[in-house]
Amino acid sequence: QVQLVESGGGLVQAGGSLRLSCVASGSIFSINVMGWYRQAPGQHRELVATITSGSTTNYAGSVKGRFTISRDNAKKTVYLQMNSLKPEDTAVYYCTMTIRDSYSYAANNYWGQGTQVTVSS
């Protein structure tokens, strides 16, 4: 059973930084795209950043230049370094990975449990 576990959320002041981590475990053959989404109460989940297996990155315009996504394939981990945080960054952040199962070979998308990021003004 594949599981993603997130950590690193918390409360910071505007202008501060946080680093989110997401570790995958289970029967994993390979991991393709890794990414981060976020969702504020009453809002749709929105894309924050993605990173391919070849380390090509993509960012939402609202975070470009402030956030950095990276991955450690040996640790099956995706990170999101968040700098110059703003109150509008406040949301629950979810990691996601496209994973090929060791048994089925089918690619499935998995989600972490979410971690709260709160930026105070």
Q: Which residues contact 118 (CB under 8 A, 6 or more apart)?
A: 10, 11, 12, 90
pLDDT at 1 over 90: no
E-strand ranges in 8-76 read: 10-13, 18-25, 28-39, 46-51, 57-59, 67-72
Return the pLDDT at 104.
87
57 pLDDT higher than 90: yes
Model confidence at 6: pLDDT above 90: yes
